[in-house]
Amino acid sequence: MVDRLSPLAFVKMHGAGNDFVVIDSRFGAGGVITAALAAMLGDRQRGVGFDQLAELRASDSADLELDFWNADGTRAGACGNATRCVAALVMAEQGQDRLTIRTARGVLIAERHGAQVWVNMGAPILDWQGIPLARAIDPLHLPLPGDPVAVGMGNPHCVHFVPDAEAVALATLGPEIEHDPLFPEATNVEFASLISADHLRLRVWERGTGITLACGSGACATAVASHLRGLTGRRVTIAADGGVLDVDWRADGVWLTGPVAHVFDGSLSPEFLEAAT
């Protein structure tokens, strides 16, 4: 439990504009984040504001464990850009170039190569039950407007390929598709258009958060879907609203890299924490 009489430290980071609050609980008795606290922190007017929250915890089977929360206080099963941000932070702290990170997705590998931090987000989930979908249908051709593709990356994604991603009414279509009955756990929603060979423009609506400037797992899902549809190769450059991400679908999983920024450190006041009880 959070000590309501003491401040709680946090770090604010972003990857290509996809922003996060990072809380380090590795040295306590357990995780401190609750759904109520995550939702209060995620409020951009009354809290700190974030797309996702990442909580570090100690692990017996990896270098660390990560839990993810959406801005509405719901859990997220995976978050590629947050994983990269945390990996960069811990690598700098410990002087390492490789980390193992346990998540709900499984144990992920992060590696530093020069200035870039890559994370292996694991193999894509391409069966309807694993994604999950509500019934047995072909994930490569969903019976929805636009003929989208469903891909699981530890969280579900619905990827649409359109002539111009800029022209999509994302604020209207995003929540409609997120809560379509075809997705029993709701879904992230992507709209992508081909710019040039192996280069996509991507816009994202994230489950439990809304429009975000980038999405790491969404970029991975989009790269997988575009290759399966024959639009690109297995290595793809993806231009999101907040910056450029690179995805490489290798034999051992889908690898993701892109920019990482440490914005500021802060602490939550005892008064704020008390209000979250």
CB–CB of 192/165 below 8 Å?
yes
Cα dist. 141→31, 136, 160 in Å?
Answer: 40, 12, 10
DSSP secondary structure, 51-112, as one string? SEEEEEE--SSSSEEEEEEETTS-EES--HHHHHHHHHHHHHHHT-SEEEEEETTEEEEEEE
For 220, the 3-state DSSP assignment is: helix
Catalytic residue numbers? 79, 215
Structure-token pair, residue 88: 């960069």
Rounded to whole angstroms, the Cα distance separating 77 from 52 reads: 11
Q: Give the CB-side neighbour count of residue 67, counting CA atoms within 13 A.
A: 19
- Phi/psi of residue 200, nearest 5 degrees: -120, 150
CB–CB of 150/186 below 8 Å?
no
End-to-end CA separation in angstroms for the chain: 10
DSSP secondary structure, 7-58, as one string? -EEEEEEEETTEEEEEEE-TTSSS----HHHHHHHH-TTTS---SEEEEEE-
Rounded to whole angstroms, the Cα distance separating 89 from 101 reads: 13
Q: What's the DSSP call for residue 125?
A: B
β-strand pairing of 253-257 with 106-113? unpaired
